[in-house]
Structure 1
């Protein structure tokens, strides 16, 4: 099986996907702009061949690299990166080389929030009121109908970049005076808790693994207010959230992919769809899958790709939490005290890549427990500030 992996060195933990593919006998071919010498040894050893390109944003360079691989190794069976940034490039390459997976005809349904909203609505899944705002007049018309506060976000974007809450006409005017030259979506501000439905499907679209996470706040607040972040996995999924997640899987026809769906749980208990992401959740969440279930999700993904089998059994035996800190904040408990006092509850800790600093933080702790109370206590302890 010939598999091309784009940018396999980033995020830093993604090298493990290539290692597991190679262990199953796949021919693993990679393209990135990093020099080969700077790739970690485990990744270099897993790659059958690596092509460095000067600029990963240059589609012609990617096209030539894939053409070279096709000439040398034959038909390409899969092209992937598991990275939001490269989804459009992947889709173009799949279409040009007739490779299974999401192609150019489908990519905008999962990249543009306005298109996601149409699919949600067609499936009967509740969404926030709103729409595209090409002009300030269009924005005012929507606000006349739904009222302040509202949220404005790029129609195609990730990580709450350039996403803002607007509370009045002055804020709306300021936004349009400095609006980036991209399509924007305006929606009613939904008050509630963000929760997710995350997992992996096989080639037929059956969910072979799924779980859910509850977030202490939205990424928009973390980015715009420079807040630290925490979220934790659930051992038992609420039936309505699980049903909504499975309905979303069917609506978007997710096959042989990781997925990360986000919803609001409103104060009165309703579930409102926020967005879909056809890639793993960010940060250390893949490792949270592992620590929460005592599995190896990297190996299981590779097994699904190569053999269409998920062989691990899981019962969500632990809650697992991601708890971050941001440099410069006056935390009460130093790092050494966190490790000493939380002990075995800490299953992993380490720095976060600077590229994710605004949304995720500078340093993260993964905490697990079979009970939720120790998880919440650990979050409070790690993030306590003077």
Structure 2
């Protein structure tokens, strides 16, 4: 099978997808922005060809690159795994008659108000939402739905740019900020109270081939607002036979069906609270922040290879074993600046070392990243354990024990 992969070199995690495709026998052709000489022998050796463009989000450049390869070999698929690349890839597919995720489905998975309109029409429980183009429209929505509200770019990824507002003044401030950043159209929605998690899948022709359920502690907006929190997310190994997870899986399947997702990775956020289980949003792509690495460790299965096997051979290679629960805890510096040292690493290694997957500790002297930069922006530890509750307790222990000092 001949597969074009969009942007094989950056970010670095993209190389995992290329190597996975090659490992299952696919002929991989890359389209990216890096100079050929900067790819490295390892990545270059995993591809049958590479075409450099000025920007992989420039649709015409992408189409021209696809046609360059089509003039030489039959192209079976065109894959993109970065949120910002999914729409140009879908447009290039349709322009060059390559099967795969459609422009319509990609649009619904990118544009939050359209996504939720489609799901409400299909009877999927979700928050009240709207697309707004003016402060007057925002105020009308606030008057009708009430505070608190969430305001974010219509096509943002995950929590990027997401703001909670609790009053008219905060709403005005958020709109002014987005205007200053050049955002022309904004999504506004009801703030849903409850616990937050995500449901990820690899789908094959509209059916779920693999899936995982993961929890945030605390919810993302709270985690990204407070430096003192060591936030975590953890994927459970208690999926089968659990009534709540059966509800999450059914919700995910309804969303996949309603949006017309066929063969793809997906990443779906959900809330569970006083109003029951509610859909939040979905991306037609793999999750970020190393979630697939955790899923691989939790199941003793290479999830990147499973994705590649589904894409290439139209079937899974191995089942998910659910051997472990696996999670990540982010460790924030006590202030912005440069890293000056750590406390507690040896203690944690001594007590929990057999369960630790890996850890990342920026060297002394390296600049820190702001809290809102995300879970892997500074130091972090990843671990796994056969018992979900024990794994959660260990993540809490790591967060309390290891201190990141900055100055």
TM-score by length of 1: 0.91
Any idea what the Cα deviations from partners look like across 1:19-78, whole Å, max 9, x if unmatched?
2322333221001112233324332210111122233333333222222111122x3211
Cα deviation code 1:258-292 (max 9, x no counterpart): 111111111x3611110011111111111111111
Query: Of 359, 367, 372, which residue of structure 1 is paired with 2:383?
Result: 367
| Distance in 2 between residues matched to 1:23 and 1:372, nearest whole Å | 32
Which whole-Å CA distance do the structure 2 matches of 1:279 and 1:212 have between them? 16
Does the aligned pair in 1 maintain the 2:298–2:384 contact within 8 Å? Answer: yes
Partner of 1:214: 215
Q: Hey, what does 1:123 align to over in structure 2?
A: 122
Say if 1:251 and 1:229 are closer, same or farther in 2 by CA, change over 3 A: same
Conserved in 1, the CA contact under 8 Å of 2:105 and 2:260? Answer: no
Tell me the secondary structure at the aligned position of residue 328 of structure 2.
Answer: strand
Greater shift in the superposed pair: 332-341 or 243-252: 332-341
Residues 342/38 of structure 1: CA separation in 2 closer, same or farther (3 Å cut): farther
Q: Distance in 1 between matches of 2:121 and 2:371?
A: 34
The alignment of Structure 1 onto Structure 2 pairs a total of residues equal to: 383
Backbone CA RMSD of aligned residues: 2.5
Mark the runs of 5 or more structure 2 residues left unpaired by the alignment: 363-367
Q: Deviations over 1:177-227 (max 9, x none)?
A: 33333211221221211111111112x222111110000134334444455
Q: Secondary structure at the match of 2:72?
A: helix
Q: Distance in 1 between matches of 2:97 and 2:138?
A: 41
Q: CA deviation at 1:304?
A: 1.1
State the 1:79 CA deviation: 0.8
Q: Could you tell me how far apart the structure 2 residues matched to 1:40 and 1:234 are? A: 37
Residues 94-103 or 158-167, more deviating: 158-167
CA contact (8 A) 1:222 1:358 kept: no
- Name the CA shift for 1:265/1:51 in 2 (closer, same or farther; >3 Å): same
Q: Which residue of 2 aligns with 1:344?
A: 354
What TM-score do you get using the length of structure 2 for normalisation? 0.87
Q: Is the counterpart of residue 229 in structure 1 residue 228 in structure 2?
A: no
Give the aligned partner of residue 311 of structure 2.
305
Q: CA deviation at 1:143?
A: 1.6
Q: Any stretches of 5+ residues in structure 1 without a counterpart? A: none
Matched residue SS, 1:347: strand
Using the TM superposition, name which of 367-376 and 90-99 deviates more. 367-376
Partner of 1:256: 263
Confirm or deny that 1:334 pairs with 2:350. no
Counterpart of 2:37?
A: 37
Mapping of residues 181-330 of structure 1, within 5 Å:
181-202=183-204, 204-225=205-226, 228-237=230-239, 238=244, 239-266=246-273, 268=274, 270-328=276-334
CA–CA distance in 2 between the matches of 1:87 and 1:18? Answer: 16
